[in-house]
Structure 1
Amino acid sequence: MPVSAGETVHHRPTPCRQPPWGGRAAKRTIDLVGAAVLLLLLAPVLLAAAVAVKVDTPGPLLFRQRRTGWRGKEFHVLKLRTMRVGAEQLRAAMTVRNEADGHLFKIREDPRVTAAGRWLRRYSLDELPQLVNVLKGQMSLVGPRPLPVEDSAFTGEARRRLQVRPGLTGLWQISGRSNLAWEDALRLDLEYVDTWSVGRDLAILFRTLPAVLRGDGAY
C-alpha cells in the first residue's frame, strides 16, 4: 500500500503469518462497504452528537491525534471532541492519576472530559468519525486499537500488533473495554493477529453493538 502525504513510516516489524490474498481482499471490501453504510445509517446520530459537542463547550468539533498504525505508519485518528480545549497539554500533569498501565492511559473521573464527552464516550459515539479513517485505508472495522505512542515504543511481541490495520472495534471492545490491563489487552491483540479470519471479524462486529449499548467499561 503506498504511503500518502503526511504519513511517516518507521522501521517495520518482522512479518508474521499473512491471511490468503482472497481473505485480505474480502476484509477490505467489508471495510469499505461497512463504513460507507454505517456513515449513511448513523448520519442522524452523528449530527446530534456533533451538535451536543458544539453546544456544550467552545472549541473544535473534531479531535485529531497522531496514532501508530499498520506497519508503523503514522496517521491522524478522528474523534468527536470529548475534552476541553488544551486537554492534551495537561496530560503530563495527569500522569500520576493514570489508572492503566503499559501504553494505556485511562482516568475514570478525568476532569478534562466535558459533560457531553462523558455521554459520547459511554456509548462510543465519539469514535464514529473513525469510519472515515476506515474508508481511507488507515484503519479497519476490526483490529487492535490504534495507540497514541511512537512506533519505537512497540518492542518485542508488542510489535506484532502492527502487522494488521488498527480497528474501530476488536477483542478489546467485547472483553471489558477500558477495564483491561495492558498485558491482557496485548494478549487479545496478538490473539487477533494470529487467528484473524473474515468469519471472526463478522463475529466481533456482531458482538460489538451489545457491548456498546451496555457501556461496558467505557469512560
Structure 2
Amino acid sequence: MPVSTAKTPHHRPAPCGRARWGVRAAKRYIDCVGAAVLLLLVAPVLFAAAVAVKLDTPGPLLFRQRRTGWRGKDFYVLKLRTMHVGSERLRAAMEVRNEADGHLFKIHEDPRVTPVGRWLRRYSLDELPQLVNVLRGQMSLVGPRPLPVVDSAFTGEARRRLLVRPGITGLWQVSGRSDLAWEDALRLDLQYVDTWSIRLDLAILWRTLPAVLRGDGAY
C-alpha cells in the first residue's frame, strides 16, 4: 500500500481533535492491550538483548531521554542503551558529520554506537522498552516519532504533531524510516495527524514488521 507524500492542505482540521470519545478510547484500548501482549511475546528477545548490552560495554542497561509528547508534555522515552556512556555530550561536536537535516540527527557508522548497539538498531530492538511508555499513556503504538525537547522543532505547522500521542511506529517507519529528509518526515507526520483512523493504525502496524526485518533506513 503506497504512502503518499503529497503536502496536506494547511486548512484541513485534524480528525483527532474532533474524533468521538469512543474512537479515541478504542485507540487507547488497542494501545494498552497491544503493548501488554507484545511485551509478553518479546520478553525472551528483550531479555537476551538486555544481557547482550550489559556484557558488551559498561554502563546502564536503559537509555532515558527527554522528549516532547502529546499536548506538549515532556516525558522520558526508554530505549536499550546502544551507545557508549557519555556519548550524548559529544553530539554537538559531531554536528558537522550529521547526514540528516532539520531536527533529525543520523550518522552512518557513528563511532559512539557500541557493537551490540549497532545490531540492536538494525532491527529496532532498542525500541522495545517503549512498550512501557505506551502502557504509561505517554506514547501510542502508532504516531509521529517523539522528538528531543527542542523549541524550534515545534513551531508553525510542526506543532500539529503534538495533537496526537507520539508512536513507536508510524508513517516514517514504513516509508523509508531514517533515510527521509526532515521536510518529508514532517509531511508524513502531518498526513497522519490529519487522516488518523483505527484502520490506518492497523495498516501501519501490519507494514511495520516487514520494514523492520528489512532494516529499512536503520543505522
Name the TM-score, length of structure 2 as normaliser: 0.92
Residue-by-residue CA offset, 1:114-136 (whole Å, 9 max, x unaligned): 00000000000000000000000
**Counterpart for residue 111 of structure 1:** 111
Q: Classify the secondary structure of the residue corresponding to 1:66.
A: strand
Deviation at 1:153, TM superposition (A): 3.4
**Counterpart for residue 149 of structure 1:** 149
Q: Classify the secondary structure of the residue corresponding to 1:42.
A: helix
Consecutive unaligned residues of structure 2, counting only runs of 5 or more, are 1-12
Q: Distance in 1 between matches of 2:111 and 2:123?
A: 19
Equivalent runs, 1:1-219 vs 2, <5 Å: 16-17=14-15, 18=17, 19-151=19-151, 153-219=153-219
Q: Classify the secondary structure of the residue corresponding to 2:111.
A: coil
Deviation at 1:152, TM superposition (A): 5.2
Structure 1 residue ranges (4+ consecutive) displaced by more than 4 angstroms after TM superposition? none
Residue type of the alignment partner of 2:32: L
Q: Distance in 2 between matches of 1:119 and 1:203?
A: 27
Aligned length: 205
Residue type of the alignment partner of 1:187: R
Deviation at 1:109, TM superposition (A): 1.2
Q: Distance in 2 between matches of 1:153 and 1:129?
A: 24
Checking the alignment, whether the CA contact within 8 Å between 1:61 and 1:80 is kept in structure 2 is: yes
Checking the alignment, whether the CA contact within 8 Å between 2:14 and 2:195 is kept in structure 1 is: no
Residue-by-residue CA offset, 1:39-78 (whole Å, 9 max, x unaligned): 0010000001001100110000000000001111000000
Q: Distance in 1 between matches of 2:152 and 2:72?
A: 9
Q: Classify the secondary structure of the residue corresponding to 1:67.
A: strand
Q: CA 1:121–1:177 in 2, change beyond 3 Å: closer, same or farther?
A: same
Consecutive unaligned residues of structure 1, counting only runs of 5 or more, are 1-14
Q: Distance in 2 between matches of 1:90 and 1:61?
A: 20
Q: Classify the secondary structure of the residue corresponding to 2:109.
A: coil
